[in-house]
Amino acid sequence: AIEDLTKALEIEPNSSDILHER
């Protein structure tokens, strides 16, 4: 699960948005 978050962060600078969505 953590790996997915890290990958999303690398591909998308808006990690905060992704974290909020999850």
pLDDT on residue 7 = 76
Consecutive H or E run containing 10: helix 2-11
Q: What are phi and psi of 20, to 5 degrees?
A: -70, -40
**What would the pLDDT profile of 1-22 be if each residue is shown by its tens digit?**
678 777 766 766 665 666 666 5
Asked if residue 9 lies in contact with residue 18, where contact means CB atoms within 8 angstroms, the answer is yes
pLDDT on residue 5 = 72
Q: Residue holding tokens 């953590």?
A: 2
